[in-house]
Amino acid sequence: MAEDSIYNEMKKAGISRRNFLKYCGLVAGVIGISDVPFTKLAGANLPAGLSKQSGYSPEAFIAHALESKPRVPIIWLELQDCAGCSEALTRSQSPTLVDLVLSKITVEYHETLSAAAGFQAEEAKEAAMKKYAGQYILVVEGSASPKDGGIYCTIGGKSNMDVLKEAAAGAAAIIATGNCAAYGGLPKANPNPTGAMGVSEIITDKPIINVPGCPAIPEVFTGIVAHYLVFGTIPELDDLKRPKLFYGNTIHDRCLRRPFYDAGKYALSYDDEGAQKGWCLYKLGCKGPTTYNSCATLKWSGGLSFPIQSGHPCLGCSEPNFWDGGGFYQGQSAPLDRPAGSVAGVAAGAGAALGIGMALANQAKKKKAHVAESSEKEE
């Protein structure tokens, strides 16, 4: 593990104490540190002054962690992928958080971003795995392919299965970023010629965090790494191994078009009156009611927009097997397999009926009020 603390590394880079505390506040907000109970803080080795309720602040908690902990080495593998998650991360419009996490940790190996190539890159990876055995985070992008001995995806002369198992053996935790690494993604779509599958189907003896999406939202990925930096543990997960902090609600729950859904107002084509007025896209195939992700809250391009806001239905890309879940532009075509204990997915089954029912109820109330008003005037 790198000897210097994260804070000292930031000071060397010219970051002032004031800006450092701003970073700490940002990280606290992203990982929801304000909700951490004081009973949990008691075991966090905080100085006496910060252990008291009266002196506690989220920024102080994060600052202490970054001042006292060394950087975290990361080894990043790419298997059957398009490098979309890497591309999204490097093009994030949230430079403060991404820079804080990626520039202040040690990315020991990344075949797309590394300056070295060929045997030099492979030697660097092997040296890092040996030096930081049991301490590094393994990030996997892309699906694994065990079929026919893993010959459909080879790296450095080795099958992807050998590469994955070798790297996973010494990892403290694994982050499967993107739908491909989490659940198999596009390579797994019918007829799945390479036998693609998610990392958790191959590696079963390590803590695994799935960060699905096509691609994964950069701030979600960096938020998870920030959580590990601060607490030294993985965040709370649902039964699909997704962090509840970012995948605890459906996109439908936070959608800006939700009022139109409740009012039974739907766009029926991309150029009709409903589409022009921003009505709900459910009947155009939107999978928001059955898709768990932070798209509607974190959004993309620095919080500028997300597909539904831009006029395109959600494709459900953070859900397992979304490529085979029915037509992307057919209403009510998403599968209804939901995380255990969640009832939000029922919205898709009720779908238009609920929206139309609420609309009729609202119309009845308005008609009744109008009749009453007319009677009063006549009297």
- CATH number for the domain including 267? 4.10.480.10
276 and 129 in a single domain? The answer is: no
Which of residues 70, 100, 119 is at a domain's end?
Answer: 70
Whether 248 and 294 have beta carbons less than 8 Å apart is answered as no
Least confident of 162-166, 223-227, 373-377: 373-377
295 and 354 in a single domain? The answer is: yes
Tokens 């949990």 locate to: 40
Checking if the pLDDT of 101 tops 50, the result is yes
> How much is the average pLDDT of 190-195?
96
Q: Say how many domains are in the chain.
A: 3
Could you list the residue range(s) of the whole structural domain that residue 341 is in? Answer: 251-359
Q: What is the pLDDT of residues 7-61, one digit of tens each?
A: 887 788 788 888 888 878 877 877 777 654 444 444 445 455 544 444 457 778 8
97 and 53 in a single domain? The answer is: no
104 and 213 in a single domain? The answer is: yes
Position 94 scores a pLDDT of: 56
218 and 180 in a single domain? The answer is: yes
Which of residues 70, 90, 117 is at a domain's end?
Answer: 70
Q: What is the sign of the dihedral through the CA atoms of 120, 121, 126 and 128? A: positive
13 and 63 in a single domain? The answer is: yes
Which of residues 51, 70, 89 is at a domain's end?
Answer: 70
213 and 179 in a single domain? The answer is: yes
Burial profile 352-366: b = 16 or more Cβ within 10 angstroms, e = fewer: bebbeeebeeeeeee
340 and 201 in a single domain? The answer is: no
Q: What is the pLDDT of residues 111-152, one digit of tens each?
A: 888 888 888 889 989 999 999 999 999 999 999 999 999 999
**What predicted TM-score, i.e. pTM, was given to this entire model?**
0.79
> How much is the average pLDDT of 264-278?
94
Q: What is the pLDDT of residues 219-259, one digit of tens each?
A: 898 888 888 888 888 999 999 999 999 999 999 999 999 99
pLDDT band at 1 (very low <50, low <70, confident <90, very high): very low
